[in-house]
Amino acid sequence: MKILTPTIHGALDYIAALTLIVAPIILELKDLALWLSVIAGIGLIVYSLLTDYAYSMAKVISFTMHIILDSLAAIVFIVAPFILNFTGIAQIYYLVMGVGVLIVVLLTSKH
């Protein structure tokens, strides 16, 4: 069931980006666990500003491509704890964020 419109998805993108930047600082993640999330948040802001939807500055990237980028980011976040040996709160954070993004992608309508 696709219950999220591209407009709602766009609003969630900026909330998620802010979370990706701020949460690892609040959670006191260290080194790569901190910076991977911050860089992902900045990247999300950049490609959201370039996506063809309501909260964009320049409609350069199709919404379909945006969804593909979101999906790839979710996969990276899900596998990162295992590949990069994140443990404890970092492992939980990455798994929760990755699964959360996948759920948003699966609930988003392309129209």
Q: pLDDT-based confidence at 110, cuts 50/70/90?
A: confident
The backbone torsions φ and ψ at residue 61, rounded to the nearest 5 degrees and listed phi first, read -105, 135
Mean pLDDT in residue range 16-32: 98
Reported pTM: 0.94
pLDDT of amino acid 26: 98
Q: Please measure the distance between the N-terminal and C-terminal CA atoms of the chain and give it in whole angstroms.
A: 13
In this predicted model, what pLDDT tens digit does every residue of 40-79 receive, in sequence order?
A: 999 999 999 999 999 999 999 999 999 999 999 999 999 9
Beta bridge partners of 51: 61
pLDDT of amino acid 60: 97
% residues pLDDT > 70 (the chain): 100
Side-chain half-sphere CA neighbours of 65 within 13 A: 10
Given a cut of 90, whether residue 111 has pLDDT beyond it is: no
Mean pLDDT in residue range 78-106: 98
